[in-house]
Amino acid sequence: MQEWIVAVAVVLAALYAVWSFMPANWRRQVATRLGLPGAASLGSCHACDECGSCGAPDALEQDKRGKLG
C-alpha cells in the first residue's frame, strides 16, 4: 500500500513538472481538450509571450551599464 501511495505522488509530481514547463500554447490546447480552460493559466511563468518578462533582463543590464559607465 505504501508503494502505491509513493507511486501516485511521484506520478502527480511528474505531471505537475511537465505542465509547468510546457509551452503556453500547448498548455492551452491540452486544457481545452480536457475541458479545463481555467487550468491553462496555471504555471504561466514560462509563457513569455504573455508577460514579456524575457525582455526585461536585457533592459536591466543596459540600465546598469549606463549607470556604471
Give the structural domain span for 52: 2-68
pLDDT in tens, 39-63: 666 655 544 555 555 555 555 555 5
The pLDDT of residue 9 is: 98
pLDDT in tens, 3-26: 999 999 999 999 999 988 989 889
Predicted TM-score (pTM) of this structure: 0.52
The total number of structural domains that make up the chain: 1
HEC string for the chain? CHHHHHHHHHHHHHHHHHHHHCCHHHHHHHHHHHCCHHHHHCCHHHCHHHHCCCCHHHHHHHHHHHHHC
